[in-house]
Structure 1
Amino acid sequence: MTLTSVRLPTTVVGSYPVVKGSGILALMDPLKHAVEVAVAGQIDAGIDIISDGQVRGDMIRAFTSHLPGIRGSSVIGKVQPARQPITLADTKYALSRHPKVKGILTGPSTLAHGLSIETPFYRNRDELVLDLAQALAVEAGYLQDAGITLLQVDEPIFSTGAANIAVGREAVNAITARLRVPVCLHVCGNLGTVIDDILRANVTVFDFEFANNPGNLEVISKKDLRGRMIGYGCVDSTDPGVESVETIRKRIETGIDVFSPEAMLIDPDCGLRMQTRDAAFGKLKNMVVATGLVRAEYTD
């Protein structure tokens, strides 16, 4: 599968530091400026497949606050699709500035574990997960129709042991089944005990962290990816320091020892929202430069 015309395309996991606007226009939409800053920062850094910056709240509330059946952090009735698109406007803005954009959804299992069930409609969390998947599939359709290159589903809960991964995987598959666009499943954390279950998902790309969790490379090196791609986290999203180009380059080359360059997307371990704007930009810029150096080694 080819996502871009370049080998080792660079991308982001999603979030970027929030830089709120000021003045009269900001009164109408105080986070519009944050979207613009996030998109511009990624483009200026040279990222091949950007995001909208995910600046509109935390990854749970950004979605659940729009879904009928949910009030605050409580499920009070049957969860339904949002009455209007949730992330479409920001994604369209990103697409107006750059040809390759990744749409991003917080996964059904991660959303479900951020909610309390206060209705007899759901007997357990697994039933909730499947209804959340149907609601998210509608949002995914909007993003696909807008022209995204890739849809990412974030399921950090999968590595914690708290989720029923079999049900979570069924939910992810329910989303991918309704799409033509390639789907990426992002799971951060240590994959040691869950990798086999995760790799059964029907997705095109698996996105994992390898900078902060180098042991993941050994775990996945023993697995058959069956032609799927790897989103290769090579920048530590938890470290406020900006890694040098050489450090990132060595991490990428270590990944290439396991995966084919044709099978890799290069990105940070996770989102960069908690870093300063300068640190986030510096990390992305150095990642792009390091990737360019590695690409040069594999030119035909």
Structure 2
Amino acid sequence: MTGDRERFRPADHPNDHFLLTTVVGSYPKPTWLNRARDLHDDSSAFDDEAWDEAVDDASRLITGEHERAGLDVVCDGEMRREEMVEFFARRIGGYEFNGPVKVWGHNYFDKPSVVSEVTYDEPWLREEYEFTADVAERPVKVPITGPYTLASWSFDEAYGSDETLAYELADLVNEEIAGLVAAGARYIQIDEPALATTPDDHAVVGECLERIVTGLPDGVRIGLHVCYGDYSRIYPELNDYPIDEFDVELANGDYDQLDVFTGDDFEPDLGLGVVDVHTTDVESVTEIEANIREGLRVVPPENLTVSPDCGVKLLPREVARSKIENMVRAARNVENDLDSGAIDAGGRTT
């Protein structure tokens, strides 16, 4: 792919060096939006029109919160979504739901079943993207759950093969992304958390990605986000993936796996998680600067994207906001140090 990161540099960017800052996707929902959802679910008095207005207001609010934090690329924090598989399965023909499944602690989600051929019946994210792009002053990223995870985290009652199902879903994702690109989207993130739990299927994910990018025009940036797992089992094979950016969750493991990527030439840009989304402790700017410099051990500054480890939706909103604000400040400070020569391109302090 040829998704040029310079297109995302703000016109008023203060430094010569540019570390692209963004988020992985999800963000804590305002308390009032959760209350509005309950009212909409339980009362005809809070109708669809009222619910749509509430979601629009939340999307506008969180997009602005991201921009005020200084992010170069924003999203609306997935205000229109709840669970990352269920949201898409409800929009794909061939899926049905049979009730909630317990996934961790006291949390449940409606795990879907594929009961017939999957079909693309309606746009999944077009409304979300167009609304966010309209209210945002910065470029907008679109996170989308990948076909391998959509297949792996569903019951298959139709295909008899997760691999075949994943390829069929990849074709649908391609159709969805083509529509998003037509609407103006230029930064797409494919989320494949299931790859971290079953990394032997890296070739299946690679074929899915090939199908996803088929026919897309130049200038569309494709990122792949994979949650914490054994990255050594998919590297260096991921160098062959048709992606611009590989986004990893390493802050919560104190970068103990970073050396996986230093042994061979790392091909894509590195999307490095520099704040831990599993703790409410807010990392200091100085701590995050040190984390960013870890990424410079793998790629030069022009190939480094800075983000949280993963989505931050399970954090208190004030904590999430503070982590992102400190992350942006840290990125700008590291850029200053790179400009002055205090840090060389290898991440070492001079």
Query: Could you tell me the TM-score, scaled by structure 2's length?
Result: 0.80
Q: What SS is found at the alignment partner of 2:236?
A: helix
How much does 1:93 deviate? 1.9
Instruction: Give the distance between the partners of 1:54 and 1:221, measured in 2 at CA.
Output: 33
Q: Extract structure 1 runs of 4+ deviating beyond 4 A.
A: 22-25
Q: What SS is found at the alignment partner of 1:85?
A: coil
Aligned counterpart for 1:183 among listed residues 222, 225, 241: 222
Instruction: Name 1:41's counterpart in structure 2.
Output: 65
Contact in 2 for aligned 1:157/1:163 (Cα 8 Å): no
Contact in 2 for aligned 1:209/1:216 (Cα 8 Å): no
Counterpart code for 2:21: T
Instruction: Give the distance between the partners of 1:232 and 1:143, measured in 2 at CA.
Output: 25
Instruction: Name 1:221's counterpart in structure 2.
Output: 262
Identify the range of structure 1 (206-215 vs 61-70) with the bigger mean alpha-carbon deviation. Answer: 206-215
C-alpha distance 283-26 of structure 1, shift in aligned 2 (>3 A): farther
Q: What SS is found at the alignment partner of 1:232?
A: strand
Q: What SS is found at the alignment partner of 2:117?
A: coil
Instruction: Give the distance between the partners of 1:176 and 1:200, measured in 2 at CA.
Output: 13
Instruction: Name 2:181's counterpart in structure 1.
Output: 144
Q: What SS is found at the alignment partner of 1:278?
A: helix
Consecutive unaligned residues of structure 2, counting only runs of 5 or more, are: 37-45, 98-111, 341-350
Instruction: Give the distance between the partners of 2:22 and 2:116, measured in 1 at CA.
Output: 37
Aligned counterpart for 1:197 among listed residues 237, 241, 246: 237
Instruction: Name 1:12's counterpart in structure 2.
Output: 23
Once the two structures are superposed, residues 23-67 of structure 1 have per-residue CA deviations (whole angstroms, 9 ceiling, x without a partner) of: 876334543333223212211111101123123111101111100
Instruction: Name 2:161's counterpart in structure 1.
Output: 124
Q: What SS is found at the alignment partner of 1:69?
A: strand
Q: What SS is found at the alignment partner of 2:27?
A: coil
Instruction: Name 1:2's counterpart in structure 2.
Output: 5
Instruction: Give the distance between the partners of 1:66 and 1:209, measured in 2 at CA.
Output: 28
C-alpha distance 79-203 of structure 1, shift in aligned 2 (>3 A): same
Q: What SS is found at the alignment partner of 1:32?
A: helix
Matched, 1:68 2:93: yes
Aligned counterpart for 2:123 among listed residues 76, 85, 93: 85
Identify the range of structure 1 (238-247 vs 163-172) with the bigger mean alpha-carbon deviation. Answer: 163-172
Where in structure 2 are the equivalents of 1:154-169 lying within 5 Å? 154-161=191-198, 164-169=201-206
Percent pairwise identity: 30
Once the two structures are superposed, residues 104-154 of structure 1 have per-residue CA deviations (whole angstroms, 9 ceiling, x without a partner) of: 1101011111111122xx131111000111111111112212222311000
Instruction: Name 1:174's counterpart in structure 2.
Output: 211
Instruction: Give the distance between the partners of 2:162 and 2:257, measured in 1 at CA.
Output: 28
Q: What SS is found at the alignment partner of 2:305?
A: strand
Matched, 1:54 2:78: yes
Matched, 1:31 2:55: yes
Instruction: Give the distance between the partners of 2:165 and 2:20, measured in 1 at CA.
Output: 36
Q: What SS is found at the alignment partner of 2:281?
A: coil
Once the two structures are superposed, residues 158-181 of structure 1 have per-residue CA deviations (whole angstroms, 9 ceiling, x without a partner) of: 111266221121011211123221
* Paired residue total: 296
Bigger radius of gyration, 1 or 2? 2
Instruction: Name 1:254's counterpart in structure 2.
Output: 294
Give the alignment's Cα RMSD to 1 decimal: 1.8
Identify the range of structure 1 (102-111 vs 18-27) with the bigger mean alpha-carbon deviation. Answer: 18-27
Instruction: Give the distance between the partners of 1:177 and 1:27, measured in 2 at CA.
Output: 36
C-alpha distance 297-87 of structure 1, shift in aligned 2 (>3 A): same
Q: What SS is found at the alignment partner of 1:185?
A: strand
Instruction: Give the distance between the partners of 2:155 and 2:199, measured in 1 at CA.
Output: 14
Contact in 2 for aligned 1:235/1:269 (Cα 8 Å): yes
Contact in 2 for aligned 1:102/1:152 (Cα 8 Å): yes
Contact in 2 for aligned 1:248/1:290 (Cα 8 Å): yes
Contact in 2 for aligned 1:26/1:32 (Cα 8 Å): no
Instruction: Name 2:108's counterpart in structure 1.
Output: none
Instruction: Name 2:171's counterpart in structure 1.
Output: 134
Instruction: Give the distance between the partners of 2:198 and 2:83, measured in 1 at CA.
Output: 22
